Amino acid sequence: MIKLIERAKNWPERTAIKDQGKAFSYSELLQKSQSIAIHLLGTETDLSEQRVAFMVRPGFDYVAVQWGVWQAGGIAVPLCVDHPLPSLQYVIENTNARTLIVHQEYEQLLKPLVAERDLQFYIVEEFPKVEKINPLPTFPDSRRAMILYTSGTTNLPKGVVTTHQNIQYQIRTLIDAWGWDMNDHILNVLPLHHVHGIINVISCALWSGACVEFIPKFKADAVFKRFKKGEINVFMAVPTVYYKLISYWNNQDERTQKELSNIFSNFRLMVSGSAALPVSVLEDWKKISGHTLLERYGMTEIGMALSNPYRGERRPGHVGQPLPGVDIRLVGEDGVVVKEGEQGEIQVKGPNVFKEYWQNPEATVQSFTDGWFRTGDMAIWNEGAYRILGRNSVDIIKSGGYKISALEIEEVLRTHPTIKDCGVVGLANEEWGEIVAASLVCPGQKPNLKALNEWLKTKLPSYKIPRQYIFQEDLPRNTIGKVTKKALQRCFQD
């Protein structure tokens, strides 16, 4: 039994989703998702963990497809709607998905792949309604439910597998901690191929019998426009989104600023996460909205782990305490738990922690020690709250809340005919957290950078494209010839 979906039967008439001005009830969501499940099953009685990839815009259809896949017993593989074909192809091939569901607008892009891999192909808009719902499969909560792709210290993203039980725990720990209620109304502006949007925003809202509203794409003016209607009372986003909302507010005249600031008296909760929240952003947002952002810490592999309190002191620059049911320890380089006030790697244990990296037992084993998941994030326990100090790998970049592997970008750059070698690093940036920067070694003719970026866009998602370049005769290296990324970062400052 999938608890999240079962619970929807308790409040069939309530509004579950608002999408492009249209309201959909929980009963409509159940009906549509069950119809999709029946179509996916065809003559089978259970998809038995078959992977179903879907490229569907955030909105009613997205949730209906996700719930449809789950009710048919399949594993949901959400694809990013902004990714270029090679990134989509990688996920479809890596999961060995046999079925692909898309919004009509993505049909042309994915058509070659459908033919090549002989995929079972559905267009969401064309799923006919099923009047009679046959019994749907039943299975234990230990069944695999979802695969989300995350960049790591290897060049290609890894598939993070969570079970229904993991997802349930990830949701439930936030419901009490953040006081979710059926009268809540949240606006989603986040992409739906990552836990922030999938778990924290849509699944928590739907678990509670609350309403989740979608706008097609994040735009500061569109967000304020929705806020102005006075219905929304919960908001969650990455620091870059708050930065952009602050910039928008700063650019308004005084009267409009006052008008916009008045909107926030309706809100009960505003959360920031997925990247470090600069104290300046927290303070500016407080001046504008009167709200102290609740900063929390999480990861695709674990959902949320640490959170400032819903009631109580939210300390700027800190991520609070462990969420209920989540065990945390800080471990030093020697593998020993550190003393209070010393820094160590955050390690996590609990039913929220993912099952495995998809078909990658080696990486799964390496990421655990004594049953604790090694996050690769460094932190310190400082007078009653955790403070994140950064990552223990310079090859992982966080930009706009997206995790990016420097190695993946380097691999692609090296395939360009003019580039002999390259080094990619993240550079601190107020708006994006970090921006991607690349040093290129081009012994012959240097590439035109605009053309290079256009070429990269056909291979990588836009947020992975370097925003700054330098040319070097060779990359900075240590005595054994390894590129020293810290020194490379300094080269950009020079």
DSSP 464: G
- Please, are residues 461 and 84 in contact by the beta-carbon 8 Å criterion? yes
Name the binder of 319 from ligand MLC, ligand AMP, none, CB < 5-8 A by kind.
ligand AMP
What is d(CA 95, CA 164) in angstroms, rounded to the nearest whole number? 18
- Binding residues for ligand AMP, rule CB under 6 A, total 18
Between residues 205 and 241, which has the closer beta carbon with respect to ligand MLC? 241
What is d(CA 244, CA 185) in angstroms, rounded to the nearest whole number? 22
Query: Which stretch, 4-12, 204-212, 295-303, 439-447, contacts ligand AMP (CB under 6 A)?
Result: 295-303
Residues 173, 300, 308, 347: which binds ligand AMP (CB under 6 A)? 300
Give the 3-state secondary structure of residue 356. strand
The CB-nearest residue to ligand MLC is 400
275 binds ligand AMP (CB under 6 A): yes
Residues 210, 236, 299, 437: which binds ligand AMP (CB under 6 A)? 299
Query: Which stretch, 17-25, 109-117, 290-298, 435-443, contacts ligand AMP (CB under 6 A)?
Result: 290-298
Residues 6+ apart with CB under 8 A from 98: 50, 51, 119, 120
196 binds ligand MLC (CB under 6 A): yes
273 binds ligand MLC (CB under 6 A): yes
- Residue 465 CB, shortest distance to ligand AMP, in Å, is 18
Residues 15, 375, 399, 489: which binds ligand AMP (CB under 6 A)? 375
What is d(CA 52, CA 45) in angstroms, rounded to the nearest whole number? 16
What is d(CA 46, CA 44) in angstroms, rounded to the nearest whole number? 6
- Residue 29 CB, shortest distance to ligand MLC, in Å, is 23
172 binds ligand AMP (CB under 6 A): no
Nearest to 153 by CA among 379, 385, 375, 476: 375
Q: Characterize 262-285 residue by residue with b for buried, 16 or more Cβ atoms within 10 angstroms of its Cβ, and e for exposed.
A: ebbeeeebbbbbbbbbbeebbebb
Nearest to 400 by CA among 436, 433, 430: 433
Query: Which stretch, 16-24, 254-262, 295-303, 381-389, contacts ligand MLC (CB under 6 A)?
Result: 295-303
- Please, are residues 23 and 10 in contact by the beta-carbon 8 Å criterion? no
Alpha helices in 305-372, H assignment, sequence order: 361-366
Between residues 15 and 405, which has the closer beta carbon with respect to ligand AMP? 405
Between residues 275 and 460, which has the closer beta carbon with respect to ligand AMP? 275
467 binds ligand MLC (CB under 6 A): yes
What is d(CA 386, CA 261) in angstroms, rounded to the nearest whole number? 31
195 binds ligand MLC (CB under 6 A): yes
Between residues 196 and 226, which has the closer beta carbon with respect to ligand MLC? 196
- Under the rule (CB under 6 A), what is the footprint of ligand MLC? 190-191, 194-197, 218, 238, 240-241, 273-274, 298-300, 399-402, 432, 435, 462-463, 467
